[in-house]
Amino acid sequence: MSIRIVFAGNKKINAELNGFTVYTDQPIQGGGEGSAPSPFELFLASLGTCAGIYVKGFCDSRGISAEGIEIEQNIMYDQMKGKIGKIVLDIKVPADFPEKYHEAVINAANYCAVKKLIQDPPEFEVKATVV
């Protein structure tokens, strides 16, 4: 897989992949226009949306409606370390969601590929190439 990163003016940096463009910008206080989420915000959102697709898949495979399910993602900042210390994904299910599936839906969310990548990170290589 290859993703093309393009500089779109000011602090806008976009990613082109699979025929889509993912737009990013920096907040106004960071010198951007605040016209799109920052790259880091998109990264964080990818955790919750990834968990969501696994929850939806779990429901679909059992013929359970996913209507009314939401995932609230809370980010806890660790002041001592100067970084995010904890991310909590709270799967909110409607009252009629079968109680016997509460733990199973949590297990499904834990299959999130983004979460797994963070837990066992790949090797990174950054290089510059003359074109």
Instruction: Report the predicted TM-score, pTM, of the whole model to 2 decimal places.
Output: 0.88
Task: Write down the pLDDT at residue 24.
Answer: 98
**Does residue 10 share a domain with residue 45?**
no
CATH code assigned at 62: 3.30.300.20
**Does residue 68 share a domain with residue 20?**
no
**pLDDT-derived band at 104, boundaries 50, 70, 90:** very high
**Does residue 102 share a domain with residue 125?**
yes
Task: Write down the pLDDT at residue 22.
Answer: 97
Strand partners, 90: 72
Task: Write down the pLDDT at residue 27.
Answer: 97
Take residue 29 and report the two structure tokens written for it: 């206080």
Task: Write down the pLDDT at residue 10.
Answer: 97
**Does residue 62 share a domain with residue 6?**
no
Cα–Cα dist 50/109, whole Å: 8
Q: Domain tally for the chain?
A: 2
Residue 5 sits in which domain range? 1-36
**Does residue 70 share a domain with residue 15?**
no
Take residue 99 and report the two structure tokens written for it: 């109680």
Q: What is the mean pLDDT of residues 104-123?
A: 96
Cα–Cα dist 55/57, whole Å: 5
The dihedrals phi and psi of 87, each to the nearest 5 degrees, come to -125, 125
**Does residue 80 share a domain with residue 17?**
no
Task: Write down the pLDDT at residue 118.
Answer: 94
> For the segment 53-103, what is each residue's pLDDT rounded down to a tens digit?
999 999 999 999 999 999 999 999 999 999 999 999 999 999 999 999 999
Q: Look at residue 75 and give its three-state secondary structure.
A: strand
Cα–Cα dist 42/125, whole Å: 21
**Does residue 43 share a domain with residue 16?**
no
Task: Write down the pLDDT at residue 48.
Answer: 97
**Does residue 27 share a domain with residue 6?**
yes
**Residue 59 contacts by C-beta under 8 Å, 6 or more apart in sequence?**
65, 66, 69, 105
**Does residue 51 share a domain with residue 103?**
yes
> For the segment 3-18, what is each residue's pLDDT rounded down to a tens digit?
999 999 999 999 999 9
**Does residue 12 share a domain with residue 53?**
no
Task: Write down the pLDDT at residue 79.
Answer: 96
**Does residue 61 share a domain with residue 25?**
no
